Amino acid sequence: MTWMVSGGAGYIGSHVVRAMVAAGERVVVVDDLSTGDPQRLPDGVHLEKGSVLDADLLDRVLREHSVDGIVHIAGKKQVAESVERPLYYYRENVQGLQTLLEAAVRAGVRSFLFSSSAAVYGMPDVDLVTEETPCAPMSPYGETKLAGEWMVCAAGAANGIATACLRYFNVAGAATPELGDAGIFNLVPMVFERLSQDKAPLIFGDDYATADGTCVRDFIHVEDIASAHVAAARRLAADPSAALVLNIGRGEGVSVAEMVGIIGSVTGRADVAPQTAPRRPGDPARVVAAATRIQQELGWTARHDVREMVTSAWAGWCLRHPEPARD
């Protein structure tokens, strides 16, 4: 079957496209290239430059490429920006998804896979976050992801479309240096940037109710994210009645202090002690996935450990920043 991947030229999207092509799937990409790069795409993958808000474009692509399934990854994803520009996020993430789902229904698409986020949970006060943990998003970004899940599930049920909503936890790493994350919004690249400027990494808060006082997160390699998409896509193709909501995580917590230590070791800068900054509003003490349901439903488990994530991410950083401040 043929899959259309929205946002397929971005960081996560390009890894998903690469994994799907390697698995023998036919793929066409729609990406507005606001953060994507055509050079990330494998040879032979057709790219249509445009937005999921463009219904005419979507109708044409779905028709011309006889698309059977959609993987929707395109969207805006910066929490702080979503607080400053909530209407922009609702337009891009919710209205964009609505436009895409309407096009999918018109085209008779039978499978729809939605890129969601652990941000739907907000600040869960649990040791492991299961798919049944109540959702209480704390930002417009998280709200748009939860609203997106509702829309996907409802549209799927009403129109006979097999659906899956995949809730990513903290994504890091790269399959190759060229596919590394170019953004500096998450912990790993933020620490890389500080170290490359010969500055101490920042840890926001060291007085949480955790073993070392710093926040605990579930970090997942982007290659594992991609393989989970392949497994989910194949499940949807084989099971027309599927309606899945699944966490994608390792089920293992790593504290921010531990992660900064691993980064220091990988980069050869373990001698640079981190500095503690005030807590950031809305940061929960611990968010770690329960990763059993995805194993039960898809037979999928994460393969990569945290050090592999950091090592591969550092290779990508060095490719884009060839002259770090110190060796």
Query: Looking at the chain, which residues constitute the CATH 3.90.25.10 domain(s)?
Result: 174-217+251-290+303-320
In the structure, what pLDDT confidence band is assigned to residue 302 with cuts at 50, 70 and 90? very high
Query: What percent of the chain lies above the pLDDT cut of 90?
Result: 95
Q: Which listed residue (89, 121, 141, 168) is catalytic? A: 141
Q: What is the mean pLDDT of residues 165-182?
A: 97
Residue 92 gets which letter from DSSP?
I
Report the CATH superfamily, name and number, of domain 2-171+220-248.
NAD(P)-binding Rossmann-like Domain (3.40.50.720)
Q: 174-217+251-290+303-320 — its CATH code?
A: 3.90.25.10
Position 282 scores a pLDDT of: 79
Which pTM value belongs to this model?
Answer: 0.96
Active site residue 11: no
Query: Looking at the chain, which residues constitute the CATH 3.40.50.720 domain(s)?
Result: 2-171+220-248
Q: Return the beta strands (E) in 50-119 as ranges.
A: 69-72, 111-117
Chain segment 200-249, per-residue pLDDT in tens: 999 999 999 999 999 999 999 999 999 999 999 999 999 999 999 999 99
Position 226 scores a pLDDT of: 98
Q: Return the beta strands (E) in the chain as ranges.
A: 2-6, 26-31, 46-49, 69-72, 111-117, 162-168, 170-172, 202-204, 216-217, 219-221, 243-248, 254-255, 275-277, 286-287
Compute how many other C-beta atoms are within 10 angstroms of the C-beta atom of residue 108.
12
Q: What is the mean pLDDT of residues 62-90?
A: 96
In the structure, what pLDDT confidence band is assigned to residue 325 with cuts at 50, 70 and 90? very low
Chain segment 117-169, per-residue pLDDT in tens: 999 999 999 999 999 999 999 999 999 999 999 999 999 999 999 999 999 99
Chain segment 30-61, per-residue pLDDT in tens: 999 999 999 999 999 999 999 999 999 999 99
